[in-house]
Structure 1
Amino acid sequence: MREPVTELAGAGATTAEPLWRAATSARVRDLAWCTLAPPLLSAIPREFAALAEPGGAALASWPPGALAAWQRWLASADPDLLPPTIEELSALPGAVQALAPAARSLRLGRHAERLLHFALEHGEGIELVASNLPVRRHGPHGVQTLGELDFVWRDVARGGTGGAPQGQLVHWEMATKFYLLVEPEANVEAMAPDPCTRLQAFVGPNLVDRLGDKLSHILRRQLPLSRTTEAEALLGARVDRSEIYLLGWLFYRDGVMPAGLDALGLNPAHLRGWWSTLAQWAQRVEARSPGSPGSLDSPGSPGSLDSSGTSGTSGTSGTSGTSASASSVRWHRLPRARWLSPALVPEHETEPFETLHDALAARFAEPHRELAWRREAPVMVCEMEPAGASAPGWWRERSRGFVVPPGWEERARQRAVQPPRC
């Protein structure tokens, strides 16, 4: 996709907004998102921490000096020298073949891993030791693959165990996730109080994944892998820290984040959006009279991106607090390959609400059985606003959300109440 040629074409470092929103280069935005955006969690709930080995689990933490140096480096980096986007790789099969076998996947999660790999390779005070490292055990019945270590890196600014001069050895397990909160009951207070159960109400749009199950799997299966004798033999040293690197977006019904979720360890600054049925989405959009200010998620409400580019923290969604009017809003269907960082697209990739509404209505009424996935899968859309004088003819994301098809909510509710794996 052609990108706007402006003074912000490199990284957008001249603005007060964070790099993952301000940069006009999609390569810079995605790389900044994977390294500088707020994580989903600020703490591991006690019930989940109990699943890990003693002292064997924590949330990922960059060395402060390394993170500051990385942000400065990225702000002035030449986008042409950064990892290509998924769409660029898809258009150039040869570029995929040039990657290492483990990095050739065009899946969004693997792409995020590629970006973090690049950052760890170029981070100041960081030595990348291994990535996507398979750990195998030899037994009487042959070789068993125990799993794979996402990243192992050395924090050269800190001593290792016992003050070893080579630096602490750190193991990161990365996950990039997008979950919609679907409450089993009408009121969040009616939900079971323990986090192991409540986090199951955050389900993936395809209803396969749940936040609680994912966190449990990382703690019980993935993090302990680095402390096995097989991993220690591969690395030639014992890991000092095992940490969870969890990024993503959480989506709330009609943009309203229920009260009482702070006990789940959610980061107050986590990135958030909305989800609605087609009819509810239409009602919310049409409720704004022409010329009235406000997005579907105003600054300070879930999903909005305020002047600093971060999500607000209020628990309600409103129709005031922004300078853009309803007449200056267009819409963009966000393909999965672009789900990481906020969208920035030329006007011809946007559409008015009425056009998008009719297209989604037709999609959700797909009559052909072999295309049933079209009528069953939620669609991510972005509310767009003009990017401003620095990028004329371009539109940037104002809020994002999923429009869900008929029947999805009930299927999601049934999925949410299935017993947790923790």
Structure 2
Amino acid sequence: YYERLWQFALHAAPGIEVLAANLPIRLQGHTLGELDMLLRDEEGVHHLELAIKLYLGQPQCTGTELAHWLGPGNHDRLDIKLAHLGQHQLPLSACAEAQQRLSELDIHQPQAALWLGGYLFSPWLQPSYAAPADGNPAHLRGRWLHRTDWARFATHNPGHWQPLARHAWLASAHIEEEHLWSHEQFNHWLAALPDDANAQLLVRLTEGPQRCWLEAERVFLVNDHWPAQPAG
């Protein structure tokens, strides 16, 4: 979905020619990988790798190290993701198999670059949690907490809270008034949520213009075992 949004934007952008998208590179029938985007502008030909990730800072860490940041499902880590992108995805366009495929499309010597977007969520009880040393200081951010801490968190952070569907995670929430949850609706949803549920992205909404409610902040609500996994 993220890649398709990029494709839409780049096809409409002036001065940019999209040459290929999701171009597979194969060796003897085996797929080595895909090149997300190939485009041409006034500076030349570019191979662009695209990724959108949301990471939670591990508790009792500082946040300054890439390894301190885990995916909400605990199956991904920022340092591992960046290593894969830097050591496999970005060099892919320079390998012999890719060069042969690109020459067939009359594409030569692309410059490889990465666009990694997303959010970093710090533990709510560690307000001084830092960002990775090489991260963008203007990065998007939020907080995370365990289920057992919700009542205390909500007392200090009152407002209209509701979960955000996964397909809506990429953008700041913009919800029409008729779709705004009541406090009773949210409490019923929370009570019905299984103890071992996957991480839930919640947004606090404030009233905006034209009967719309706008995202003021977002938090991940994780089960009480996170980042460890329950036994069995």
Residue 152 of structure 2 aligns to which amino acid in structure 1?
Q
CA contact 2:122–2:129 (8 Å) conserved in 1: no
Cα distance between partner residues in 2 of 1:260 and 1:406:
23
Map of 1:360 onto structure 2: 190
- 3-state SS of paired residue (1:178): strand
CA contact 1:149–1:226 (8 Å) conserved in 2: yes
Map of 2:150 onto structure 1: 281
Map of 2:66 onto structure 1: 199
- 3-state SS of paired residue (2:22): strand
Q: Which has the higher helix share?
A: 1
Structure 2, gaps ≥5 residues long: none
In the TM superposition, residue 406 of structure 1 has moved relative to its aligned partner by: 2.0
- 3-state SS of paired residue (2:72): coil
Cα distance between partner residues in 1 of 2:142 and 2:229:
20
Map of 1:342 onto structure 2: 172
- Residues 339-418 of structure 1: pairs in structure 2 closer than 5 A: 339-353=169-183, 355-365=185-195, 375-388=196-209, 391-392=210-211, 394-411=212-229
In the TM superposition, residue 354 of structure 1 has moved relative to its aligned partner by: 5.3
Residue 174 of structure 1 aligns to which amino acid in structure 2?
L
Residue 248 of structure 1 aligns to which amino acid in structure 2?
G
Cα distance between partner residues in 1 of 2:162 and 2:130:
32
Q: Identity, % of aligned pairs?
A: 34
Structure 1 residues 408 and 348: CA distance shift in structure 2, 3 A = farther
2:99 to 215, 232, 245: 232
Cα distance between partner residues in 2 of 1:251 and 1:259:
10
Residue 38 of structure 2 aligns to which amino acid in structure 1?
V
In the TM superposition, residue 177 of structure 1 has moved relative to its aligned partner by: 0.7
Residue 200 of structure 1 aligns to which amino acid in structure 2?
A
CA contact 1:227–1:238 (8 Å) conserved in 2: no
Correspondence 1:154 to 2:40:
yes
Map of 2:78 onto structure 1: 211
- 3-state SS of paired residue (2:75): coil
Structure 1, gaps ≥5 residues long: 1-110, 159-167, 288-295, 297-325, 366-374, 413-422
Structure 1 residues 355 and 256: CA distance shift in structure 2, 3 A = farther
- Residues 97-246 of structure 1: pairs in structure 2 closer than 5 A: 111-138=1-28, 143-155=29-41, 157-158=42-43, 168-183=44-59, 186-188=60-62, 198-236=65-103, 237-246=107-116
Cα distance between partner residues in 2 of 1:114 and 1:172:
13
In the TM superposition, residue 408 of structure 1 has moved relative to its aligned partner by: 2.0
In the TM superposition, residue 222 of structure 1 has moved relative to its aligned partner by: 0.7
1:251 to 92, 96, 121: 121
- Residues 46-61 of structure 1: pairs in structure 2 closer than 5 A: none
Provide the aligned C-alpha RMSD in A.
2.2
- 3-state SS of paired residue (1:376): coil
Instruction: Give the structure-2-normalised TM-score.
Output: 0.88
Instruction: Give the structure-1-normalised TM-score.
Output: 0.50
Map of 1:28 onto structure 2: none
**122-131 or 249-258: which moved more?**
249-258
CA contact 1:382–1:399 (8 Å) conserved in 2: yes
CA contact 1:256–1:274 (8 Å) conserved in 2: no
Cα distance between partner residues in 1 of 2:91 and 2:137:
28
Residue 69 of structure 2 aligns to which amino acid in structure 1?
F
Residue 410 of structure 1 aligns to which amino acid in structure 2?
A
